[in-house]
Amino acid sequence: MNKMALALGSNLGDRLGNLRKAMRLLRLSDVRITSTSDIFETEPCGKPDQPRFLNACAIIETEKEGEEILALLKDIEKQIGRQEREKWGPREIDIDIIFIDQKIIDSEMLQVPHPEMHKRDFVLKPLAQVVPDWIHPVLKRSVHELASEIPEKDVTIVRIARL
């Protein structure tokens, strides 16, 4: 059984509805959701001239392997109506694999742990709610430690709801 962390984000359309639909579709797949974070509203990363995001994290367990889950997540994004746009641009839904147990994967299709996770408050703050003691297999630091290193002035998260 693989334990994975997923980061979900939406800044177009019914943002909260998009996140909740993604969770419903995951539950209908061969995936067990074991915990979810609060939902946070955050400033966009990379391209600031776009609507604010809603972000959350979910911990799942599944027999599926990394690339199988990635394919499932891309299918869920498509079902919710994600359109391919510019990198870091607005999106109906985005679901990223943050980690799979303590595995390190660096393939053409998938990089795990997510290569930018340790720099992103919108990933670390929700992730710290659900797995604060998970140790990054490359950085050898806990999620709690990584989240606490983000300067307060850079934190733009406001808790608004629960998944």
Enzyme catalytic residues: 82, 91, 94, 96
The SS3 assignment for 9 reads strand
- Using CA atoms, how far apart are residues 45 and 134, in angstroms rounded to an integer? 24
CA distances (Å), origin 124, targets 5, 6, 55, 92: 11, 11, 11, 21
User: CA-based angle 30:8:62, to the nearest 5?
Assistant: 20
CA dihedral 104, 70, 57, 20 (to 10 degrees): -170
